[in-house]
Amino acid sequence: MTATAVKQATVTQSRQAPTGHKLCSKTDLVAFSGVAAWLETPQGPTQVALFYLPGFERELYAIDHHDPFSNANVIAHGIVGDIKGAAVVASPIYKQHFRLEDGQCVEDDSVTLATWKVSFKEADVWIEG
């Protein structure tokens, strides 16, 4: 199946998570790369990709771990980079790029990944609705 054939334009903006709670600790993160975390939301469980860019203006991002083009949970395992000024991750399967900031797919306007607000609270990573 080709990448375009299976893509579904699921546009879910910033899904609701219960207000602020600890997701994992800072030592679980890998600098300039991603890890996956499990998240319970009022809509059911979901999987989040966390990216850590130490030293950058915004250091921490949380974005949907699910890749809509391959239907596999793999986004955390993509390569991080910047394209046309925005931090992005490239899906490891069919290589589409998603902006970490707002989940927008660079190659396809109709596809956006969910994103969450995340921050450091001392040594912990906090996620918010």
Query: 6 vs 16, which CB is nearer to other proteins?
Result: 6
Of 42, 44, 85, 123, which lies in the binding site for other proteins, with binding defined by CB under 8 A? 85
Q: Cα dist. 61→1, 2, 65, 72, 120 in Å? A: 31, 29, 12, 20, 11
Q: Which residue has the tokens 């579904």?
A: 8
One symbol per residue from 22 to 51: x for binding other proteins (CB under 8 A), - otherwise; what is it? -xx---xxxxxx-xxxx--------x--x-
Binding status of residue 4 toward other proteins by CB under 8 A:
yes
Q: Backbone dihedral region of 59: left (phi > 0), alpha (psi from -120 to 50 degrees) or beta?
A: alpha
- Looking at 10-18, 82-90, 114-122, which segment touches other proteins (CB under 8 A)? 82-90
Residues 6 or more apart whose CB falls under 8 angstroms from that of 120 comprise 26, 59, 60, 126
Is 106 a binding residue for other proteins by CB under 8 A? The answer is no
The DSSP code for 3 is: H
- x/- mask, other proteins, residues 49-78, rule CB under 8 A, reads -x--x--x-------------xxxxx--xx
Distance between CA 38 and CA 49 in Å, rounded?
9
Residue numbers at the binding site for other proteins (CB under 8 A): 1-2, 4-7, 23-24, 28-33, 35-38, 47, 50, 53, 56, 70-74, 77-85, 87-88, 90, 92-93, 95, 97
